[in-house]
Structure 1
Amino acid sequence: MSITIVGLGPGNFSHITLETWELLSGADKLLLRTAKHPCVAILKERGIQFASFDYLYEQAADFDCLYQKIASEVINRACTGESIVYAVPGSPLVAEKTVELIRTQAVEAGLSLTIVPAMSFLEVLYVRLGVDPINGITIIDAGDLPKLPPDLETGLVITQVYSRQVASDAKLALMEYYGDEYLVAVVRNLGLPEEQIAHVPLYELDRLPVIDHLTSVYVPPRPARSKTFSFDPVVDVMARLRSPGGCIWDIEQTHLSLRRYIIEEVYEVLEAIELADGAKLCEELGDLLLQIVFHARIAEESGVFTMQEVIDTVTEKMVRRHPHVFGDITVRNAAEVIMNWDQIKKREKAGERTGALDGIPIGLPSLMTAYKLQAKAAKVGFDWQDIGPVWDKVAEELAELKAAAAKPGAENGRETESELGDVLFAVVNLARFMGIDPETALNTTNNKFKRRFNYIETKLKEQGRTWGEMDLAGLDALWDEAKAGE
């Protein structure tokens, strides 16, 4: 009672080893996983008798069931006393699930098992594509692509791409990792006279003229991303810019002169987030980081603090303010996290802040200042219990604004300005009750207006028209087009 597993190689009969050929030609009982292999025709020509499991391919519900049935059949025949030679395409230990199952079940059944080395299609693929496996390679069945780790760094060989549907499913799975345009190599009939190698973008993977059981896909490795990072490069660049012989403009900057730039960078980060543009967000976060490094360099030059102290201070603060993560405090929900944060922060600032409204930066935009004033007042109980009175307050302030604006004479200018401020303050309070950051909301609307206005401007240029040639109705129509396009 024994099982000997051999491989038929990648396709060409010349790739079968002499040891395998002797086992095939001398087998008492030769079983093929599939007769759909180029070497099988030669076995027939030379009078070698065999049976295959191709009939099971039509019966099985899926490949897992198929492979299990084949493995069980091989084991059962061996258990009846037969000496089985089981032949698989390629190499027995490369992407052969039936072999994995047989190895496990043979041990449980007490059967003698021998696996004979064989050449797989991988050796041909390495040569044809110039791939050195020493650099790392991952081999996976097309059906297992959903299990692919998202941080895969090696080249990828996908086997069993036997139909257009499988190729389509593989394409969709791979595009999640690599993108539509990523170039892959589709190989077919490797080692045979009809060998084909096509380099195509992923989105064309299922559009090739022929896809069959001898089709595989090679996906080159993505450029490796460093698993560690360092602030040193940007810190060193800033030090060079600020040093004698560096950039005159950078040398002249101070904390005060740089204030406007850090605000601008924050808003550009917000725009990238709103656009859901990953590449732009990466760039804008870098620009914001540069401003932080800039300020830290200026401080270091005057002996106030260093970039390392900035990092250490915020790290210590985050650990200190998250005792439920780094300590022994237990919290039930996010609300308790915020409560703990506020209490810890209050203790830290006890010597600095004596009033309920202390701690609001002077240079904040007005909408953000209003939001923080109201939030701090609410913490000591100066707030409505629900949103109903807030709506009433907005309506009240709007009525007062209308009344002030309707007064005759120039003397109403200051009163109207004051009433408009009250309206904005009331709207900020409404935003707070709704859980909306008013600064972010207005910034989003500003960007939306800009996009739609740019659309109108582009359309006018395409039509060879100027702003002065359009009436408001025509401009409104273009505005509606821009709105519909979003």
Structure 2
Amino acid sequence: MGTIHIVGLGPGDAGLITLSAFRLMQEARCLLLRTAVHPSVSMLDEAHIAYEALDRFYEQGTSFDSVYQGITDYVLDRASEGDVVYAVPGSPVVAERTVLMLEKEGAGRHIPVVVHPGMSFLEVMYTRLRFDPVNGVTIIDSSDAGQVPRDIRTPFIVTQVYDRHVASDLKLSLMDIYGDEYEAQLVYHVSLPDESIRPIKLYELDRCDQIDHLTSLFLPVPPVEGDVVSEDGETPQEGMPFDLDPLVQVMARLRGERGCPWDKRQTHKTLRRFLIEEVYEMLDAIDQNDIEGIREELGDILYQVVIHARIAEEEGLFSAQDIVNDVTKKMIRRHPHVFTDKPLENRHMSMVNWDRLKQSERRQQHDHLLDGVVKGLPSLLAAYKLQEKSAKKGFEWDTAEQVVAKVHEEWQEFLDAVAEGDRNHMEEEAGDVLFVLANLCRRYDIEPECALHRANNKFRSRFSYVEDCVRASGRDWSEFSLDELDGFWQKAKREERKDAGTPVRRKR
């Protein structure tokens, strides 16, 4: 049984390898290099020092976890035969997961592990960037991009940005926290002749040519999480405790390389029906006064928002943070009476001001007034909004009684069409009846789509009660008269009133 001596190859310049590390490698019976893809290795070749590079594990592995585990197992197996010197890029104690794994698993196999001091690229970065780590710094490996903490309050360094694929994943994680336009420092080949340190916007990260295993990213202290930027660019001191990041990170994994096949194949168009379904399930939970259901359905709706945002982010269009920022700015812009010293005296003036501010926005500008009503809305809701918009221009009846009279008029025209037996005419007149009924609902601040949704649920519940009564009787449906079935229906209504604690209202 031998001892594992772990040494560092320094940040790149061979002159930065410690003398003790060089002697250990020179005298080693078995010298193993985690990778030979490092500038300092050329000095070993010039000094005719024999070594075995473990780069084959990178070629065979399917993930960084499997690569590091394979290297760890191999080094431990060689140490069971005698002393081993294991050399890693930089310093053994900076961003070296295999060192931690060797210490832990070596103890389990009773193999001593000695870690020798070494110089990392960080010392060179501190010097180049004139940055004192004594005030705090957060450092992670690029392979841990999905675990970037949102509450960073220190400068942030990401090491070993291997390639553009890694850079792309890293970019998406960082933009969720810092924003697309955040300026970082790309640190390339530090301490080597072609060293380069230059500013870069986060969205440009995976488009950069200077990307390899000796590339790092330095980000200054980020903004406080939850800060809201006002219209004039000022950031208030109060942060919002709400954190969307856990769901954003879950979605990133679901649509990642090893994610869920269903989530990965979704598009904005394929998700349309699910968004509609979730909204209606939310309405149902509200109608049932189901607080747990409301909470759950809001989560499902939020999931839809986040997956749409993720799809857009993958296409380089916008991010979840953009959505939050945009709607925050919109609400501030549309409520100057709340966020400025311009008070409004009443609700009517508030709505007038809302409409005026809304119409000034680019997406709200249309050739015709009713173009602003989305054509994909459910028909009753569309009817409500069409009449609501036209009414703001004075195009409506003066009183509710006039609307009631119009309901009767349209109903008679429908009956006349029925008498004609013309199905096309019947459909047209039926539509007119529903349209004017939607207008009547609006007169009394009733949203007809929600009202009909509630009526549907009521019918579903009462009919199920009737069905249970029939089943309990042991008789067939055909054996019941309509009056008997209606009796069950009336009993269902009484049970509803009893459960709701309200008196039964008799219809005349």
TM-score (norm 2): 0.50
C-alpha contact (below 8 Å) 1:7/1:89 kept by paired residues: yes
User: Relative to 1, partners in 2 of residues 1:431 and 1:188: Cα closer, same or farther, differing over 3 Å?
Assistant: same
User: Relative to 1, partners in 2 of residues 1:167 and 1:55: Cα closer, same or farther, differing over 3 Å?
Assistant: same
User: Relative to 1, partners in 2 of residues 1:119 and 1:60: Cα closer, same or farther, differing over 3 Å?
Assistant: same
**Distance (Å, rounded) in 1 between the aligned partners of 2:159 and 2:24:** 26
Corresponding position of 2:44: 43
**Distance (Å, rounded) in 2 between the aligned partners of 1:432 and 1:275:** 30
**Larger deviation: 276-285 or 61-70?**
276-285
For the residue of structure 1 that corresponds to 2:197, the secondary structure is strand
Corresponding position of 2:173: 173
Corresponding position of 2:27: 26
Q: Return the offset for 1:396.
A: 4.4
**Distance (Å, rounded) in 1 between the aligned partners of 2:438 and 2:173:** 54
Q: Return the offset for 1:164.
A: 1.6
1:314-359 CA distances to partner (integer Å, 9 max, x unpaired)? Answer: xxxxxxxxxxxxxxxxxxxxxxxxxxxxxxxxxxxxxxxxxxxxxx
Q: Return the offset for 1:58.
A: 0.8
**Larger deviation: 94-103 or 22-31?**
22-31
For the residue of structure 2 that corresponds to 1:428, the secondary structure is coil
Corresponding position of 1:116: 116
Q: Are residues 1:71 and 2:72 paired?
A: yes
Q: Are residues 1:279 and 2:297 paired?
A: no
Partner amino acid for 1:278? T
Corresponding position of 1:145: 145
**Distance (Å, rounded) in 2 between the aligned partners of 1:136 and 1:434:** 60
For the residue of structure 1 that corresponds to 2:446, the secondary structure is helix
**Distance (Å, rounded) in 1 between the aligned partners of 2:402 and 2:118:** 81
Q: Are residues 1:194 and 2:194 paired?
A: yes
Q: Return the offset for 1:46.
A: 0.8
Partner amino acid for 1:154? T
**Distance (Å, rounded) in 2 between the aligned partners of 1:394 and 1:177:** 56
User: Relative to 1, partners in 2 of residues 1:274 and 1:43: Cα closer, same or farther, differing over 3 Å?
Assistant: closer
Corresponding position of 1:223: 223
User: Relative to 1, partners in 2 of residues 1:189 and 1:73: Cα closer, same or farther, differing over 3 Å?
Assistant: same
C-alpha contact (below 8 Å) 2:441/2:447 kept by paired residues: no
For the residue of structure 1 that corresponds to 2:407, the secondary structure is helix
Corresponding position of 1:433: 451
Partner amino acid for 1:142? S
1:282-335 CA distances to partner (integer Å, 9 max, x unpaired)? Answer: 57779626779x99xxxxxxxxxxxxxxxxxxxxxxxxxxxxxxxxxxxxxxxx
**Distance (Å, rounded) in 1 between the aligned partners of 2:350 and 2:410:** 22
- After superposition, residues 446-485 of structure 1 pair within 5 angstroms as none
Partner amino acid for 1:183? E
**Distance (Å, rounded) in 2 between the aligned partners of 1:40 and 1:138:** 29
Corresponding position of 1:16: 17
User: Relative to 1, partners in 2 of residues 1:230 and 1:204: Cα closer, same or farther, differing over 3 Å?
Assistant: closer
Q: Return the offset for 1:160.
A: 2.1
Which segments of 5 or more consecutive residues in structure 2 lack a partner in the other structure? 228-235, 240-322, 352-379, 385-400, 412-436, 455-508
- After superposition, residues 4-403 of structure 1 pair within 5 angstroms as 4-80=5-81, 82-224=82-224, 276-281=326-331, 288=338, 365=348, 396=404, 398-399=406-407
Partner amino acid for 1:277? V
Corresponding position of 2:252: none
1:23-52 CA distances to partner (integer Å, 9 max, x unpaired)? Answer: 111112111101111111111111111111
C-alpha contact (below 8 Å) 2:403/2:439 kept by paired residues: no
Q: Return the offset for 1:223.
A: 3.4
C-alpha contact (below 8 Å) 1:6/1:86 kept by paired residues: yes
Partner amino acid for 1:433? A
**Larger deviation: 110-119 or 136-145?**
136-145
For the residue of structure 2 that corresponds to 1:131, the secondary structure is coil
**Distance (Å, rounded) in 1 between the aligned partners of 2:22 and 2:192:** 19
User: Relative to 1, partners in 2 of residues 1:20 and 1:398: Cα closer, same or farther, differing over 3 Å?
Assistant: farther
**Distance (Å, rounded) in 2 between the aligned partners of 1:56 and 1:275:** 44
**Percent identical residues:** 39
Partner amino acid for 1:149? P
Partner amino acid for 1:55? R
**Distance (Å, rounded) in 2 between the aligned partners of 1:104 and 1:420:** 71
**Distance (Å, rounded) in 1 between the aligned partners of 2:31 and 2:56:** 16
- After superposition, residues 417-428 of structure 1 pair within 5 angstroms as 424-426=442-444, 428=446
C-alpha contact (below 8 Å) 2:438/2:448 kept by paired residues: no
For the residue of structure 1 that corresponds to 2:139, the secondary structure is strand
C-alpha contact (below 8 Å) 2:180/2:203 kept by paired residues: yes
User: Relative to 1, partners in 2 of residues 1:423 and 1:117: Cα closer, same or farther, differing over 3 Å?
Assistant: closer
1:342-390 CA distances to partner (integer Å, 9 max, x unpaired)? Answer: xxxxxxxxxxxxxxxxxxxx9655999xxxxxxxxxxxxxxxxxx9xxx
C-alpha contact (below 8 Å) 1:183/1:219 kept by paired residues: yes
**Distance (Å, rounded) in 2 between the aligned partners of 1:160 and 1:428:** 60
C-alpha contact (below 8 Å) 1:4/1:113 kept by paired residues: yes
Partner amino acid for 1:136? G
C-alpha contact (below 8 Å) 1:7/1:91 kept by paired residues: yes
Q: Return the offset for 1:425.
A: 2.3
**Distance (Å, rounded) in 2 between the aligned partners of 1:4 and 1:274:** 51
Q: Return the offset for 1:100.
A: 1.0
**Distance (Å, rounded) in 2 between the aligned partners of 1:224 and 1:279:** 17
C-alpha contact (below 8 Å) 1:9/1:16 kept by paired residues: yes
**Distance (Å, rounded) in 1 between the aligned partners of 2:75 and 2:27:** 18
How many residue pairs get aligned? The number is 291
C-alpha contact (below 8 Å) 1:75/1:102 kept by paired residues: yes
User: Relative to 1, partners in 2 of residues 1:288 and 1:39: Cα closer, same or farther, differing over 3 Å?
Assistant: same
Partner amino acid for 1:7? G
Q: Return the offset for 1:280.
A: 4.4
TM-score (norm 1): 0.53
User: Relative to 1, partners in 2 of residues 1:277 and 1:423: Cα closer, same or farther, differing over 3 Å?
Assistant: closer
